[in-house]
Structure 1
Amino acid sequence: MRLLPANFLQLRRSSNWLCLLALLWVLPLQAADYQSHQLTDDGLVIQTTDGQLLLRFHQPAVVEAFYQTEGVKQLPSFTLPTQQELVSAGLEVQSDVLRYGTEALTVLIDKASLQLSYERHGKVFLAEEQGLFQHDTLRGFRFQLQPDEKLMGAGQRVLGMDRRGHRLPLYNKADYGYTTESEQMYFSLPAVLSSNNYMLLFDNSASGFIDLGKTEADVLQFEAVAGRTGYIVAAGESYQHTLQQYLQASGMPPMPPRWALGNYASRFGYRTEQEARDTVQRFIEQGFPLDAIVLDLYWFGPDIQGHMGNLAWDKDAFPNPEQMITDFRELGVKTILITEPFMLTSSNRWQEAVEEQVLALNLAGKPKTFDFYFGNTGLIDVFKPEAAEWFWQIYHGLMQQGVAGWWGDLGEPEVHPHDTIHQLPDGTATADEIHNAYGHEWAKMVFERHVRDYPTLRPFIMMRSGAPGSQRYGMIPWTGDVDRSWGGLEPQVELALQMSLFGFGYIHSDLGGFAGGEQFDAEMYTRWMQYGVFQPVYRPHAQEHIAPEPVFHDGTTQRITRDFIQLRYRMLPYNYTLAYQHSTLGLPLMRPLFYLEPDNTAFIDERNSYLWGDAFLVAPVTEPGVTEWTVNAPAGIWFDFFDGSRYKGGQSLTVPVTLETIPVLVKAGAFVPMVASMQTTDHYSSKQLELHYWHDASVGQSQGEMYEDDGVSRTSLQDGAFELLQFHASNQQDQQLNLTLTRQGDYSGMPAARHLMLVVHQAPAHWQQVQVDGRTLEVQAESVAKGGEGAWRNRDGAIVVQLNWQQDTQLTLN
């Protein structure tokens, strides 16, 4: 352990303190001395002259280091669940070193320096430099960096994928109307993922900085004004395994309701019940699928300012909200309401909030009030159990009216004075101590009480800010108030990938952009909506002076966006399977290219091309007027999803595009299950199932899967109430293709049989027969009767096989 010299604050306040900071570390530092160690049920406890160091494994490849210096205030961990079973680890005691670890990961503790290093398969991949440092108003850690190491992480930033060389604030803060560069945004993460395949997370909720080799090129420094002096290291066998191990320790993201993957009507905002009803009807009349409508702040007040905190229907504008919600629900449209944690002194609930003592306090112990854009306000203290329960009862009452989902806005919190005092269950904390955990605690409040009071239903919780660990509360974050421009569209893949790498797989953008815009840019809007099909949540949202909903735009824009939204619905079996993989394996829905080629460090810098699941390679068009677009393709064979063109990967590809298409390539050997489009996911059924397979002679073996359950039950995975369809292909140098289709599991409402249409794309011309469980079908020139069994070639040359699928099935094409 290390202590900073007492003159640190004077240096920090000087105009060139960043330069002086680099010199600070050459000054003498007081070191703690090793005294003893003890292996306990809670991990390895090392006693020092300053306090104790606790090391414990939460997974075989995830270890926590928690320094507890005597007299230094600590806060709870937000990254790790309170109750968690630990993994046992072995201890080897040597004269100068303690080796504590599992087969996957070992911590080396140098007794003389008390510095820690981390070893995987006999090789050190991470080491503390000075390790812990502490001062009255500053604490943190320093780690060594390798010369060629690249660092991703630190949350929402627009900087490029490799963030090394930056010094970044750790303070969740709104960045209204951002475009192609931003160092501080809504959702910071005190965490990095290294190109050396380890994840380092600082378990600290306080305001601070993370210096990724900016001040000193070979040092990663985390610093905070207060908070928990602990960190977590995860280091698996691959990038995917590292994330999986971390999420198994921090908490897997739960399955969302299936309707969350559908289309939303959303704007800032619907001012009246009639406007909301008319908008929903317009979607239906114009043939646009729709699953949800999002009501912004006008549901509780007639204008923007003065009403926040009412959290009750404005009956002048919404005279019959319960009937409206019921009518929407009968159409398959779920109602989502915005809520904020601010309680204006002008709101109808202000006095109640004061009397119930649910507000954060000032230094005199009175409700803290301050001015911000929406008015003079207090802040609900979600850290205080009694306040959280009071806040939840408002949600509970609205859910009794039929509200299906929640949108938590401004939860950084957007304004959070430093002298605000919060009441935790075991003490108090200032705003600066727990600022970055406010959104996290808010999501926890909603999630845990939702589970308590509605145990069978999956929560829908969309929030703008959080912290490591928020994913276990089902948080669906978005990228904030992005500018409505090409510059706003450009960084959206980078933002999504960076957050996905730390378990926030449902990160998404306001499709079409949110802020500003003088007039409607049809091309930009169309490109954003096309990209949205291949991002986790499909939610156009914007300021109302330009309609964000496609139903209000010209015929060409409507036609193209309708086709893409219908494609989104056709892909529901595939997309829902990605949600299942995210909840069980930790796999992001949007995946970086280096997941396929981990040794290709150039792919770490790739910020436009990405993988949508394991089948698709997508590259959004982010410039106007283009007729071709560059796609950086991993090795292998790829096919254009729209026209079937064949590409050889391992290089940059130039893909032609029109206004009707963006580059979407499918990996050779991929399986993609699909269904017909529908008006709402309430009508979803896989009884009529399409299974698409992209054949190529270069692929010898491949496999895919499809997950299904009832789409709403919260405990489907735990209860085993689901079906898993698995597909396997074996290709014998184009002589024949063997396909195995299997079914496992059961759930209420599961189809006993499916009418399956198998489409084998790129099937060789000499294939003329299909054997189905020993029965021979001749490949015809045209389709057979609907509902029958048969095989034919379609106009694109693909072989289509139609059959009734009830049990495990073997097919051979030759």
Structure 2
Amino acid sequence: MKYYIILTLLLGIIPKGNASSQRTNLDARTPGKCIAYTNLEDRVVFTCENNIKATLQLLGEGIVRMNFEELNDTLIRNTSFALTENALAKSQKINVSEQVQSYEIFTSKLIIRINKDPFQIRFFDKYQKLLLEDYEDKGFTLEGENIASRKTLRANEEFFGLGEKSGSINRRGKSFKMWNSDRPCYGVNEDPLYKSIPFFMSSYGYGIFFDNTYKSEFKMGSDSEEYYSFEAPGGQMTYYFIYGPTYKQILKGYIQLTGNPIMPPCWALGFSQSRGMLTNEKLTREIASQFRERKIPCDIIYQDIGWTQHLQDFEWKEENYDEPVQMLADLDEKGFKVIVSQDPVVSQDNKKQWKEADSLGYFTTDVRTGKSYDMPWPWGGNCGIVDFTKPEVANWWGNYQQKVIDDGVRGFWTDMGEPAWSNEEDTDRLFMQHYLGMHDEIHNVYGLTWDKVVTEEFEKRNPNTRIFQMTRAAYAGMQKYTFGWSGDSGNGNDVLSGWANLKQQIPVALSAGMGLIPFWTSDISGYCGDISDKEEMGELYARWMQFGIFNPLSRAHHEGNNAVEPWEFGPEVEQICKKAIELKYQLFPYIYTYAREAYETGLPIMRAVVLEYPDDKETYHLNNQFLFGKDIMVAPVVEKGASQVKIYLPEGEWIDFSNGTRLYQGKTWIEYPVEIETIPIFVKKGSIIPTMPVMQYIGEDPNYPLLLDVYPAAKNRKALLNVYEDDGISNDYKQDVYAERILECKTTEDAFEISHEIKNHNEFHWVKRNVLIRLHCQQKPKKLLLDTHKVKRFRLNKTGQIDFDKQDKAVWAWDEQKKQCLVMIPNTMEFSKLHVEK
């Protein structure tokens, strides 16, 4: 590992973040004329007249690494915090063709032209369509320590990404800063926030990942209509050009560089309950009992930071917990998993651990004194900041956190990892020295280095066990280690005025997804604000819940001792929320299938509509609705007292999920009527939606029947889906140990042909399930054949259902009201084709 060994000598005791006024004002330098190149096979180095060299590497047919630095730059820098270990090892041989005025490099997907005078890079696809070019000679500028890259901005170019940011999903015309910031009750357009993901995608079919950990800034046409730029006050100009041309392909290229997202344990995709003062055994047991008595599904109960005796000794607070180990065992019997918070600090009041870490040099230091940096903390008194960039810290921290895992805790919630109170205005933090550098370089990756330690140390001590870790502050590449939530949302001045904050969480979620945070949640109810009028709060809470159950990691949470359990807001709201949570559990097979897709491709489960319909200009600014997976459209109600919602439906035909007989034509806006219990949900015609019966927790019935809602496509077209299944708790999924149920429904003139195949990968022990097919069609079928055998017709019972326990053969029934053909196939029967004659 390379170390930042001469930085302190260069700066004395003045950190770079405070030294800008001391720099000599230098004119901005550009590379100027390219005077030579050297082909080192796996990279090409272009030497330019202004003492600047540009290095180009191919990391795939469509991924190009560009690096600029001064010729005499001998500073030893850190390797990338974001890239996978072998990302640069994929460097490919380059052939350079020199022309009179330029150099040309060809791949199977790209043509790269480098103009000689002045040095200018231009990227084309193989059809000579211009994708990206340097703006004039300013593809790289150096002014003192400030670096920048300007690119030509086309009149019709749109931008998406940059991670968990406020504002519209379309970044065109705005500027954004990367500086992980603790912003409680942040405004609807506030920037920066908690995470720094310096990666974006262009409507011209490419993505840019600017791998710089300093306080970088992205000006996406905010300064000029002619160019956009990305820049930083220090570090190297290293960026990656990622060719698509589709957004999906760009995302796949990004994870090739920064790593595949880890899959959460299956139970993490259930419902979670939390609150700021949920930090004692009695309250935890009471809440768990209420969920089960009221039959509201729930899998996780969080313990906020007050659960510890001291920050951060991982000891149960003695006055709050009588028998914590027994509590965990009792909750586990009822299907609850407990997640505890951890902060990246050790309180000075925690004398034993603080002295231990201080003597070992495990804290960040203050360059003014050479001693452990004295960090004021929101609670627990002043603290030492644990330096996770120091290799020896990992095992030490891993031993501490393992104590509660051995007790029965199932995972962690890593909070305050900016670290807290280290925002732009908190310039004293810039005097912090980390093992791998000064704080201005490490700040944005501090949370990432912590999350990396938490995950790797957990996996070392708990072999082949899937980690649950949810984090607030992070950098690019976080998806390899952790999941995310959007921090302290809501209106702190007036909780009842939090409607704008709820509305803004939708584009925040979608942008998080496009920044490779596919497993994400908002704090249902909004974290901020005292709730004094539960009845008045009921509508906002219900609407936040209806949005939140479509967050992959659904968590209700609020500050202090503000209780936000569903029953706190009256019987009507409780029933509305119960129904919403039950829907999440019913959709589990669908959600889990798309969780696997997120792991493989980087595609989020909650996805901006533009990812699936990139050529539809109406999708460029769709901030109030999203696709859930590929086939379900959700438009949460986010206006107080709303009686209708304006929704855009893209091309195709869309079926009202709550009324399977109501069909809408696509490429149009509709006005959809809503009541307080309404969640506008639509299914695209030509889809298969797998569900399961409602359970009180994921895994309550591991032999659950699989329910398949089939919405046939138009004539001569197919509905397709591969339903994914694995053990839900191990890391065997990384070795492709799983089963998939391959489903296809072809519509012909006279019939629906449903094919079914189970593929078992690497000897996964899959569950034989009862299957109920609900075929949504307009007319009662004439007859059904399962493979070659005629299926006997059966009458529905009084509740309109088929009783699986009383059937040992396939049967079918017709539901006239819902226009559904129901086919029950018991788990004792294997079948490959179902023929439904119209």
Verify same fold: TM over 0.5: yes
Aligned to 1:321: 324
SS of alignment partner, residue 285 of structure 2: helix
Task: Spell out, residue by residue over 1:146-200, the C-alpha distance to the aligned partner (whole angstroms, 9 max, x if none).
Answer: 1221122333332212222222222111221124322221113222211222111
Question: What is the CA distance between 1:32 and its match in structure 2?
Answer: 6.5
Cα shift at 1:321: 1.6
1:747 is displaced (CA, Å) by 7.1
Unaligned runs of 5+ in 2: 1-16, 423-427
| Alpha-carbon distance in 2 for matches of 1:284, 1:322 | 21
2:241 to 207, 230, 233: 233
C-alpha spacing 1:262/1:28, structure 2 compared with 1 (3 Å): closer
Are residues 351 and 128 of structure 1, via their aligned partners in 2, closer, same or farther at CA, if it must alter by over 3 Å?
same
- The residue aligned with 1:568 is 584
| Distance in 1 of aligned mates of 2:763 and 2:293 | 32
Name 2:682's counterpart in structure 1. Answer: 665
Over residues 440-460 of structure 1, what are the superposed CA-to-partner deviations in whole Å (9 max), with x where a residue is unaligned? 111111122222222310111
Question: Which whole-Å CA distance do the structure 2 matches of 1:174 and 1:558 have between them?
Answer: 32
| Deviation of the 1:377 alpha carbon | 2.4
Residue 273 (structure 1) aligns with: 281
Cα displacement (A) at 1:471:
1.0
SS in 2 for 1:143: strand
Shift of 1:777: 2.5
Contact 1:440 1:465 survives alignment (8 Å): yes
Secondary structure, aligned partner of 1:647: strand
Deviates more, 1:608-617 or 1:92-101: 92-101
Separation of aligned partners in 2, 1:342 and 1:729: 55
Who is 1:508 aligned against? 521
Which residue does the alignment assign to 2:399?
393
- Residue 660 (structure 2) pairs with residue 639 (structure 1): no
What is the one-letter code of the residue matched to 1:607? Answer: N
Partner of residue 754, structure 1:
769
Pairing of 1:728-767 with structure 2 (within 5 A): 728-733=744-749, 735-745=750-760, 750-751=765-766, 753-761=768-776, 763-767=777-781
Corresponding position of 1:442: 450
**Equivalent of 1:358 in 362, 366, 369:** 362
Q: How many residue pairs end up in the alignment?
A: 786
- 1:780 Cα shift? 5.0
> What's 2:824 paired with?
802
Structure 1 residue 94 corresponds to structure 2 residue 115? no
Whether contact under 8 Å (1:259, 1:681) holds in the other structure is yes
For residues 18-52 of structure 1, the C-alpha deviation after alignment (integer angstroms, 9 at most, x for no partner) is xxx9xx99x775637433211334x3344456364
What amino acid maps onto 1:712 in structure 2? I
Q: Which residue does the alignment assign to 1:789?
A: 810
Tell me the SS of whatever aligns to 2:555: coil
Structure 2 counterpart of 1:59: 60
The residue that corresponds to 2:671 in the other structure is 654
How do 1:595-610 residues align onto structure 2 when only pairs under 5 Å count? 595-610=611-626
787-796 vs 572-581, which moves further: 787-796
**Match for residue 538 of structure 1?**
554
Quick one: which amino acid aligns to residue 412 of structure 2?
A: W
Aligned-partner Cα distance in 2 for 1:584–1:10: 43
Contact 1:686/1:751 (8 A) holds in 2: no
Instruction: Rate the CA distance shift 1:106–1:86 in 2: closer, same or farther, 3 A.
Output: farther
Aligned to 1:488: 501
Partner of 2:726: 709
Between 63-72 and 315-324, report the one with greater CA deviation: 63-72
Q: 2:600 aligns with which of 547, 572, 584?
A: 584
Residues 193-208 of structure 1 mapped to structure 2, 5 A cutoff: 193-208=201-216
Aligned CA-pair RMSD: 2.5
Distance 1:657 1:804 in 2: 38
Distance 1:151 1:11 in 2: 33
Call closer, same or farther: CA 1:66–1:389 in 2, change over 3 Å: farther
1:100 CA drift (Å): 3.0
Kept in 1: contact 2:164–2:486 (CA 8 A): no
Give the equivalent residue in structure 2 for 1:17: none
Residue 371 of structure 1 is matched in structure 2 by: 376
Alignment match of 1:332 (pick from 335, 338, 352): 335
Letter in 2 for 1:790: V
1:468-525 Cα offsets, whole Å, 9 max, x none, are 1111223333343333421111011100111111211112200111100443311111
Is it true that 1:216 corresponds to 2:224 in the alignment?
yes
Deviation at 1:773, TM superposition (A): 0.2
Alpha-carbon distance in structure 1 between the residues aligned to 2:119 and 2:509? 38
- 1:518-549 alpha-carbon deviations (Å, 9 max, x no partner): 43311111111111222211111112443122
TM normalised by structure 1 equals 0.92
C-alpha distance in 1, partners of 2:546/2:716?
A: 29
Q: Deviations over 1:396-419 (max 9, x none)?
A: 222222221111111112233443
Aligned equivalent of 1:304: none
> Taking structure 1 as reference, are residues 47 and 659 closer, same or farther at Cα in structure 2, changes over 3 Å only?
same
Measure, in 1, the Cα distance between the counterparts of 2:363 and 2:159: 39
Aligned counterparts of 2:487 and 2:670: Cα–Cα separation in 1? 29
For 2:450 and 2:719, the matched residues in 1 are separated by 43
How far off is 1:751 after superposition? Answer: 4.6
Partner of 1:252: 260
Letter in 1 for 2:466: R
SS for the counterpart of 2:430 is: coil
Q: Hey, what's the Cα distance between the residues in 2 that align with 1:29 and 1:590?
A: 42
Deviation at 1:68, TM superposition (A): 3.6
The separation in 2 between residues aligned to 1:212 and 1:174, in whole angstroms, is 24
Please give the secondary structure, in 2, of the residue aligned with 1:59.
coil
Report Cα offsets for 1:321-375 as digits up to 9, x if no partner: 2222222222221111101112232234222221121100111321111334333
CA 1:479/1:63 → structure 2, altered by over 3 Å: closer, same or farther? farther
Describe the SS at the equivalent of 1:638: strand
**In 2: Cα distance, 1:534 partner to 1:781 partner:** 35
Q: Does 1:612 align with 2:631?
A: no
TM-score normalised by L of structure 2 = 0.89
Residue 156 of structure 1 pairs with residue 177 of structure 2: no
Q: Give the residue type in structure 1 aligned to 2:152.
A: Q
1:109 maps to a residue whose letter is I
Please state whether the residue corresponding to 1:488 is helix, strand or coil: helix
1:114 corresponds to which residue?
119
Match of 2:785 among 759, 771, 788: 771
Deviating more after overlay: 580-589 vs 206-215: 206-215
AA of the residue aligned to 1:813: V
CA gap 1:420/1:322 in 2 versus in 1, 3 angstroms: farther
